[in-house]
Amino acid sequence: MKRNILFSYGWLLLAVLIFLSACQVDDSYPIDYEQLSEDERLVIRFSHVVGEDTPKGMAARKFAELVKERSDGYIEVQVFSNGTLYKDSEELEALMRGDIQMIAPATSKLTHLVPEMSVFDLPYAFRTLDEVHTYIQSNVGKELATKLETHNLYSLGIWDSGFKQLSNNVRPIHTFGDLEGLNMRIMPSDVLHKQFEIAGANSRRTDFNTVFTELKKGSIDGQENTLSNISSKNLYALQDYLTISNHGYLGYLVLFNHELWKDLSPDVQEILVSALQEVQQWEWDLVNELNMKKLEEIEQCECVHIYTLSEEEQRAWEKAFEPVYKYYRIRHPVRFIQALPKFS
């Protein structure tokens, strides 16, 4: 009897050991986080206001794919494009509140928080995108990004949209003087306002998603933007004249809610940073080509007169815009301007 009991216990012990080792084998399998509910995954909501076929739209999607792949589906970046979740005037507040976790606003839209950031809006401050990247990696560039931290914003990099061009319905713009009297839409930045003011033009700060309607209503005559933005919102279809002026830079800081960022584990931070670094380089490499492609598409519609400023004309415009630099200089520490490639 005693032997029987011992024998049964032996079998029981063996069964438990087999069960435990099977559990161990299971544990070593990669976890398929996609089977988990949204509550069990880490969801990052990324809101932006442009179309999918723009540098920012494409970069946001690629970032979401990379992060999903590298975290085995544990981190899900949900991208909301075209302002479907928040308009550009709302997304920053939403990020600071923590209602969303990530945005990539134009630097111009951060100038009410960090006014020195308007250095990026100075006309002809940069001749190439590489110059912008060098500036952002310099001490003053880092200083600008760090200033955002007091507003609960953490910058993880910069994505380009490219250089801005001018479109309008009133007249072809060849010279600086041709801007006089025009009603132009701008992003919210005092430097952009000044840029048009010194040219004798009026400017209106409106959300990106209202530009098409405002042009259609005739409440503005024109606007400035990159070719991918002009094309993806069909703005050119409402405009008679387009001037390839390359007069200003448009780019984005890729921002996280800072509190949320600090709460993430080092592993998660590492996945996000490495994916962002890869996407940033990929985005930088595609921007010029994409904008050129958009120009060809616009040319093909034969619906808008296109004029390209020569190198000499651009230099004349740059000179005419000098009072904007003076405006910046008397308001902000000189080091932000001095570090621009054209002065350093």
Q: Which parts of this chain interact with ligand LMR (CB under 6 A)?
A: 49-50, 56, 88, 106, 161, 187, 208, 225, 229
Which one, 103 or 309, has the nearer CB to ligand LMR?
103
**Dist CA 307 CA 101 (whole Å):** 41
**Dist CA 132 CA 251 (whole Å):** 9
Residue 27: CB atoms within 10 Å = 8
**Dist CA 197 CA 19 (whole Å):** 78
Which one, 229 or 257, has the nearer CB to ligand LMR?
229
Q: One-letter amino acid identity for 221?
A: D
CB of 131 to ligand LMR, least distance (A): 20
**Dist CA 257 CA 154 (whole Å):** 6
Which one, 135 or 208, has the nearer CB to ligand LMR?
208
CB of 74 to ligand LMR, least distance (A): 29
Which one, 73 or 115, has the nearer CB to ligand LMR?
115
CB of 316 to ligand LMR, least distance (A): 26
Name the nearest CA neighbour of 333 among 124, 133, 139, 140.
Answer: 140
Confirm if 108 and 192 have CB atoms less than 8 A apart: yes
CB of 271 to ligand LMR, least distance (A): 25
The stretches of 200-302 forming alpha helices (DSSP H) are: 211-217, 227-232, 258-263, 266-301
Which one, 42 or 238, has the nearer CB to ligand LMR?
238
CB of 225 to ligand LMR, least distance (A): 5
